[in-house]
Amino acid sequence: MSGPLRIALVEDDPTQRHIVAEYLARHGLRPACFAGGAEFKRALLAAPFDLVLLDVNLGEAEDGFALARWARARSARLGIIMLTAAGETVDRVVGLESGADDYVTKPFEPRELLARVKALLRRSAAAAPPPPLQAQYRVGTARLDMERRVLILADGREDALSASEFDLLRLFVLHPNRPLTREWLLEAAAHREAGAFDRAIDNRVMRLRRKIERDPAKPEAIRSVRGVGYLFVPPAD
C-alpha cells in the first residue's frame, strides 16, 4: 500500500471506542473514530479507507451488518472486521455474508484484534494492484470486448450483450478470483433492473453461462460459492 493507512472505527460506545482507538494508536495505527453509520458513510464517500472495524450493535436503525453491505457495495477492496458481543454462529454467518472479511467477538483480547487487523492489512497489501483496463478479456470460451460491449463467441460470432449482462460480466473480470456476494453485485451494477433482488443476479449468471461455458451445467468460469454468491475464474493460459 502506498501512503499512510486509513483505518476507521465505528463504535457507538464511547468507552469501547476510546480503548480500541488508544490501543491501535500505541501500535502505529490511528483510526478515524465514528459513533454511528451516518458519519462513517460521509467519510468513506469523501475518501477511501483501507480497513474498517464495525460494531454490529450500533443502537440505531442501521446495524453493522447493513453498514457492512453498504460499504462492500462501494469497495471490493475495503477490509472489514465486525465487532460484536454476540457469539452465535448465525451472527458470524450473517457478518461474513454481509461482506465482512473477519469477525471478532467481544470481549476480545486487544492483542488478538491487533493481530487480525495487521493480518488483513498484510493480505490487502500483498494483493496485486488492479491491472490497467484491457481492450478485451477472456471469459470462459469467449472474449469480452470492453469498448464495443459485445461478447465474441468461440465460433467468431458476436453477441450484443444487454446492459445488465455487460455490467455483470465487467464486474466479474475486474474482480477475478474473489467471492462476490449477490448483494454487492446488485449494488455495484450500473444498470439495476426494476425490483432487482438476488434472483435477478442468478438469472443473469444463467444467461451468461450459456454463452461462455463449455458446459453450463458444470461452470468453470463463473462458479457458485455456496451461501455467498459467485466467483469468476479467468481461463488459464
Q: On the CB side of 25, how many CA atoms lie within 13 Å of its CA?
A: 12
Same domain, 116 and 145: no
Tell the residue number behind the cell numbers 463504535, with chain if given: 11
| Mean pLDDT of the 82-101 span | 70
Same domain, 114 and 224: no
Q: Give the residue from 106, 126, 146 where a domain finishes.
A: 126
Q: Is 99 exposed, middle or buried (0-12, 13-18, 19+ CB in 10 A)?
A: buried
Q: Is 90 exposed, middle or buried (0-12, 13-18, 19+ CB in 10 A)?
A: exposed
* CATH code: domain of residue 188: 1.10.10.10
Q: Return the pLDDT at 209.
A: 97
Cβ-based neighbour number of residue 24 at 10 Å: 19
State the chain's mean pLDDT as an integer.
Answer: 84
d(CA 10, CA 34): 5
| Mean pLDDT of the 20-45 span | 92
Same domain, 106 and 31: yes
Q: Return the pLDDT at 86.
A: 63
Structural domain including 19 reads 7-126
Q: Return the pLDDT at 93.
A: 65
Q: Return the pLDDT at 130.
A: 57
Same domain, 162 and 108: no
d(CA 108, CA 22): 15
Same domain, 106 and 35: yes
Q: Give the residue from 86, 105, 126 where a domain finishes.
A: 126
pLDDT digits (tens, 9 = 90+) for 183-221: 778 777 644 444 445 578 899 999 999 999 999 999 999
Query: Greater confidence, 75 or 171?
Result: 171
Same domain, 97 and 142: no
pLDDT at residue 171 tops 50:
yes
Q: Return the pLDDT at 195.
A: 45
Note the Cα 85 to chain centre separation in Å.
24
Q: Return the pLDDT at 2.
A: 44
